[in-house]
Amino acid sequence: MRTFSAEEGWPALRASWADRLPEADLAALDEATAFASRHHGDQTRPAGEPYLEHLLEAARVLVEAVGITDADVLRAAVLHDVVEDTACTLDEVREHFGDRVAALVDWVTKPPCSEGRSREEARAAYLDSLNSAPDDAILVKLADRLSNVQRLDTHPRPEKRRAYYDETVRSVLPLAERHPWFRAWYDAWRSEFRRLTQ
């Protein structure tokens, strides 16, 4: 099972994509990466790595594994958590990056809990809504979740590992059926991490 890392940072990743993406698209990703970095600040992932690594891993999956070269999809991958996990608004994303990027970010942003609905119910409704998402939004979601689960055994809370495994199998693997590369990757991942449920 292939894993993806971005610990070398954006400049090294950018240099490695110089033969895959035109300079204008790399410049657009410069802007998105700077924007995400500014908003996420010193946030870290549960295992302690800088948050930006997760965002760049998602973009790396799309470019290097799936062959995506659409700059809007790649910018959405870098920006996919900025509304959900920072004070940034969707309007700010739209103002800086346009309607299409904002729409993709919106699809993969979990809405805040509403009154009368538990956090679990809101999360389930969000995941269910992805069944009607456009293909480009599904690609961003699959790359995002891949980054989150590829090293699931490093998550500090065992109960979260099990719950995230179960949720991924139940709600994300069906989305991967649309895309042969993701389908194969998630099949291998499911087998490798099945032990977390025991």
Give CA–CA dist 185/164, Å, rounded: 17
DSSP H stretches of helix in 65-197: 71-79, 82-85, 90-97, 99-107, 119-129, 135-149, 158-167, 173-176, 180-193
Enumerate the active-site residues. Answer: 84-85
In whole angstroms, give the CA distance from residue 49 to residue 98.
30
Helix 23-40 / helix 51-60 crossing angle, nearest 10 deg = 150
- Look at residues 128, 175, 172, 120 and name the one whose alpha carbon lies nearest to residue 150: 172
